[in-house]
């Protein structure tokens, strides 16, 4: 049997800052060592590895790979290193998961897509191998699709959290009295429709806003000019968009070319997901407000937060990218599972079953370079979310967020037992 590594040491390695969480305070506390297999842990990740969606899919893959690298350098989970198998997500969410299970994977991660996650979650419950989704953030997943999950978890903040944050950010930036009309350009599937519904429901509670255009271009559409023309005709105070990855690039390039930014203020939940693919002239024209999910590399300043600096350096040195919230999706999903499993080993004195790992994940709190996260008893990850104005940085060679505001989970998520829409309706 292998010697286990203490939970605090593993957690310290993943957070990248041992002094904050007391690593090494009890070197004799090495956790459970009995009945731990010698074989490496086999993990599967499905994400977008090609095409326009890989703008964020590869970030999730790189984040997962960095977390696993740090786990293995620290001695593994209970002494077991992790080996990762990555599959292209495409539209094969359920098939990919079934193949992972048939191959004997100990854990699976992903997907990115909300529609894919809705299709996958019931199969996870049927197969009984824990899956921690990187994204797939549709609000109804744990309210309607799988209301009483056992094996299905999600690391990233879900739609209600980033849309309520977006509505509060809109009012904070512009003032409620200046938000009278709003248009939407959102992707034509579960995620885009869910985000538009939650954002406008929240914004109507905070202002007297009127909806003047609702546009839903197909995912990965190469022409959004019809919706841009509608925005230019209506000139709404705010245009909201939940476009992500390559679709952000298409929207903002075509909006700049057609002077849309002279007629409206663009607010987006994940515009920053395209940080590595936007050009300086478009960013400077747009002056858009964007969310960055539960991670922004500059908040707090890397000089004050060594785990953040370490992650930024690793991302830039290994992959030549500015890490986004989707990098943290991959990093955080792996970290949630690894630290919860190590905790279960320490408590049980041996390798836990899938059900015991799932029980350990419920209510589990853990650190990453983005700060402290909680996997709620409803299987939903809860973390602080970030919004700021996108500005071009010559030093970084990419957009940065300035004037960053943060929103805690308590401010932007419904209490246990309450659906998102009912909660917003109660304001």
For the stretch 301-319, pLDDT in tens is 888 999 999 999 999 999 9
Predicted confidence at residue 16, as pLDDT, reads 62
Longest CA pairwise span in the chain (Å):
70
**Quick one: which H or E segment has residue 41?**
strand 41-47
Predicted confidence at residue 347, as pLDDT, reads 94
Residue 14: pLDDT above 90?
Answer: no
Strands (DSSP E) along 113-186, which ranges?
131-133, 152-154, 181-185
Residue 1: pLDDT above 60?
Answer: no
Residue 223: φ, ψ to 5°: -140, 115
Q: Residue 414 and residue 148: Cα distance in Å, rounded?
A: 17
Residue 411: pLDDT above 90?
Answer: yes
Average pLDDT value for residue range 135-151 = 96
3-class secondary structure for 254-302? Answer: HHHHCCHHHCCEEEECCHHHHCCCCCHHHHHHHCCEEECCCCCCCCCCH
What pLDDT band is residue 56 in, cutting at 50, 70 and 90? Answer: confident
The token pair at 113 is: 């897509």
> pLDDT of 87-110, one tens digit each?
999 999 999 999 999 999 999 999
What is the share, in percent, of the chain residues with pLDDT greater than 90? 87
Residue 17: pLDDT above 60?
Answer: no
Predicted confidence at residue 7, as pLDDT, reads 59
Task: Name the average pLDDT for the chain.
Answer: 92
Q: Residue 113 and residue 51: Cα distance in Å, rounded?
A: 14
Predicted confidence at residue 238, as pLDDT, reads 98
Predicted confidence at residue 34, as pLDDT, reads 58
> pLDDT of 354-396, one tens digit each?
999 999 999 999 999 999 999 999 999 999 999 999 999 999 9
Residue 5: pLDDT above 60?
Answer: no
What pLDDT band is residue 4 in, cutting at 50, 70 and 90? Answer: very low
Residue keyed to tokens 């024209």: 285
């Amino acid at each position: 049997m292998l010697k286990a590594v203490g939970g605090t040491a593993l957690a310290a390695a993943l957070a990248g800052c041992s002094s904050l969480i007391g690593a090494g305070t009890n070197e004799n506390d090495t956790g459970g060592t009995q009945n731990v297999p010698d074989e490496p842990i086999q993990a599967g990740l499905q994400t977008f590895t090609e095409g326009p969606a890989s703008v964020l899919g590869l970030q999730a893959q790189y984040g997962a790979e960095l977390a696993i690298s740090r786990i293995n350098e620290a001695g593994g989970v209970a002494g077991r290193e992790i080996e990762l198998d990555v599959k292209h997500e495409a539209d094969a969410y359920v098939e990919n998961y079934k193949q992972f299970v048939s191959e004997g994977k100990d854990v699976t991660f992903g997907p990115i897509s909300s529609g894919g996650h809705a299709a996958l979650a019931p199969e996870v419950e049927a197969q009984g191998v824990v899956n921690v989704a990187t994204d797939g953030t549709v609000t109804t997943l744990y309210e309607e699709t799988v209301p009483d999950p056992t094996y299905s978890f999600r690391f990233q903040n879900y739609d209600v959290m980033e849309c309520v944050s977006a509505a509060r950010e809109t009012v904070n930036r512009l003032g409620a009295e200046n938000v009278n009309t709003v248009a939407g350009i959102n992707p034509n599937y579960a995620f885009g429709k869910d985000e538009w519904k939650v954002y406008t429901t929240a914004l109507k509670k905070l202002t007297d806003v009127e909806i003047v255009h609702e546009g839903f271009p197909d995912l990965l559409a190469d022409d959004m000019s019809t919706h841009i023309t509608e925005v230019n005709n209506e000139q709404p105070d705010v245009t909201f968009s939940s476009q992500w990855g390559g679709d952000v690039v298409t929207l903002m390039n075509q909006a700049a070319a057609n002077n849309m930014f002279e007629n409206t203020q663009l607010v987006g939940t994940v515009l920053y997901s395209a940080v590595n693919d936007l050009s300086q002239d478009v960013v400077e024209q747009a002056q858009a407000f964007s969310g960055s999910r539960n991670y922004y590399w500059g908040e707090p300043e890397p000089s004050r937060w060594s785990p953040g600096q370490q992650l930024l350096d690793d991302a830039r040195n290994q992959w030549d990218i500015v890490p986004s919230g989707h990098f943290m999706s991959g990093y955080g999903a792996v970290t949630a599972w690894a630290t919860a499993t190590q905790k279960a080993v320490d408590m049980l004195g041996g390798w836990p079953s899938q059900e015991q790992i799932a029980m350990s994940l419920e209510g589990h709190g853990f650190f990453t370079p983005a700060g402290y996260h909680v996997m709620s008893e409803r299987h939903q990850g809860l973390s602080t979310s970030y919004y700021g104005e996108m500005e071009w940085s010559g030093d970084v060679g990419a957009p940065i967020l300035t004037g960053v505001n943060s929103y805690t989970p308590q401010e932007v998520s419904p209490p246990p037992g309450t659906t998102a829409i009912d909660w917003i309706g109660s304001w």
